[in-house]
Structure 1
Amino acid sequence: MAVAGNAALVVVDVQKGFEELDFWGERNHPEADGNIAALIDVWQSTGRPVVLVRHDSARPDSPLRTGYAGNDFKEYVAERRGRGGGAELLVTKSVNSAFLGSPDLGTWLRGEGITQIVLAGIQTNMCVETTARMGGNLGYEVLVAYDATYTFGLEGPFGWRRSADELARASAVSLHGGGFARVVTTGEVVAAAG
């Protein structure tokens, strides 16, 4: 696996509000936060660009709503902002895809000559997956660092309930098997980018 010298690390919605497990339920991938931090460190130390995405929820009861402490980035992300030698971009959004935020991610990537993106963050089957699908559709080479993402259990139609692990695996299979992205481990990305 090759990681381009200008590949962008897109860190999706790593916000304090996702720590409110009474709202979200049980999560998976307890190692994800450490893996996200490791990816940011590698990107910053190699001068690659980092995109930080923040979800500004319009729902008044959301832990990610604007004006609420949960909207802020988790401490380990906030501490790393502005520390790298490469470009850094903040994208805010109120929908699932980072490509539908402000400023326009696609315009920025094209302006920087970036054709490869690496995704990490929260939630695997929501904003990470949607961003990966759109990135793939828009012609970017997309890598998803699977163990640098996490999600929560969810109930769908007909009373169907799936655990966080089941949803994350289904997302990985859809992205990888469907050709939207290559799903890899943090270790693989770090080894290729270091």
Structure 2
Amino acid sequence: MQHTALIVIDMQQGMASPAAGERNNPAAEDNIARLLAAWREANAPVVHVRHISRTPGSPFWPGQAGVEFQPRFTPLPHAHVVEKNVPDCFINTGLERWLHARGITRLVMVGVSTNNSVEASARTAGNLGFATQVVADATFAFAKRDYAGNQRSADEVHWMALANLDGEYAQVVQTDEALAALGAALRNISAAPVPAIV
């Protein structure tokens, strides 16, 4: 699984604040934690993405509590951390180069929010040629008013964003599917014959 990275997007304290608004998928954090634990156990690559705002007063402005990682998603010392200033985690971060240097060709994306940083990052990943999966039940969104002025629920925003991605830029999967694929890959590695020493 060294060719597949788990990308954990913006799981910061500011995203857990009630001030962020109505959200969906309350089990998302538990599913992200399951995936993160599995990737760590497999010693597979993990990238933690953190948003650093350029807007004074934002909860993601440097030095604010909101910019810090939520405790259960704190990166391990060897994990790669990407700090971004725009929704797309590939812009001005060096992430693409870091992935290519390690031969990583597949990405599994989780985090928040589905229609913002997750969607923006998955679009770029697909356009760059990475085989990208977005885990539907390990992402979540917030309610939002559409351009016509209609209030959309968090679920509506979430599912529309996933529909924008699926089959175009990424494959949308569920946590159990991503875990099953990880397990299958590990079994294939362990079953591979050991080359004879001559």
Do these two structures clear the TM 0.5 threshold for a shared fold by scoring above it?
yes
When normalised by structure 2's length, the TM-score is: 0.88
Unaligned 5+ residue runs, structure 1?
Answer: none
Structure 1 segments, 4+ long, off by >4 Å, are none
The aligned residue for residue 89 of structure 2 is: 98
Mapped partners of 1:97, 1:69: distance in 2: 22
Deviations 1:99-151 (A, max 9, x none): 0143x100001000011000000101100010000000000000011110111
Mapped pair 1:81 → 2:76: yes
Q: How many residues align?
A: 183
Mapped pair 1:45 → 2:41: yes
SS in structure 1 of the partner of residue 63 of structure 2: coil
The aligned residue for residue 185 of structure 1 is: 174
On the 8 A contact 1:26/1:164 being kept in 2, the answer is yes
Mapped partners of 1:150, 1:44: distance in 2: 22
Q: Greater CA radius of gyration, 1 or 2?
A: 2
The aligned residue for residue 132 of structure 2 is: 142
The aligned residue for residue 164 of structure 1 is: 154
The aligned residue for residue 110 of structure 1 is: 100
The aligned residue for residue 63 of structure 1 is: 59
Unaligned 5+ residue runs, structure 2?
Answer: 184-198
The aligned residue for residue 113 of structure 2 is: 123
Mapped partners of 2:43, 2:71: distance in 1: 22
Q: Shift of residue 44 of structure 1? A: 0.7
Q: Shift of residue 88 of structure 1? A: 2.2
Identity %: 40
Mapped partners of 1:65, 1:81: distance in 2: 23
The aligned residue for residue 25 of structure 2 is: 29
SS in structure 2 of the partner of residue 183 of structure 1: strand
Deviates more, 1:92-101 or 1:46-55: 92-101
On the 8 A contact 1:91/1:101 being kept in 2, the answer is no
Matching residue's letter, 2:171: R
The aligned residue for residue 142 of structure 2 is: 152
When normalised by structure 1's length, the TM-score is: 0.90
| Coordinate RMSD, CA, aligned | 1.3
The aligned residue for residue 16 of structure 1 is: 13
